Chain A
Amino acid sequence: DQQVKQNSPSLSVQEGRISILNCDYTNSMFDYFLWYKKYPAEGPTFLISISSIKDKNEDGRFTVFLNKSAKHLSLHIVPSQPGDSAVYFCAASDPSQGNLIFGKGTKLSVKP
């Protein structure tokens, strides 16, 4: 059973508007969450992270929100740019294993 779920396989947004990518998790012991961005034929690159003791972390156009009671996090990109078009992976850190658990990814397309 998936512990990290990204239920939207794809999302299309107009340039300049807000992109919201969602991620749900099942294990309340996860203590650290990350978002990775992946272009085709390249490896994922780290985008932004949040510790479970926080509910928001902001870095430029990217903000991650964490709702622990709902076991939900989201990535907001505003304003969206065509260069943001990529697959975004949500990941959670399992402290018992020391590994990251990845979601299946959401493909974001930002239209000019």
Chain B
Amino acid sequence: AQSVAQPEDQVNVAEGNPLTVKCTYSVSGNPYLFWYVQYPNRGLQFLLKYITGDNLVKGSYGFEAEFNKSQTSFHLKKPSALVSDSALYFCAVSDPFSGGYNKLIFGAGTRLAVHP
């Protein structure tokens, strides 16, 4: 079955330190990969995506993600965390059988807490 795993329910980081939020996927073919962020009582905001090309993708708010095909991973990173980065982060992959319909398969989410 197609699935996305975010192995950490919560990640705690001190402000100014680098952060990594992990994502691995089990999807056939060459899916598109996405990261979204959700602030309290808000919808999801798009951060970045990988479709093809360079394995390091840069996105909004200083975030980047590294695609690793052999490990089927797409980890989200930021060199220096801010308290305002504290939020819920979702990894998603496109369902390879959905054609052009853009169905997404989501991970369970990882709560990032950045402490001053």
Q: Do A and B bind each other?
A: no
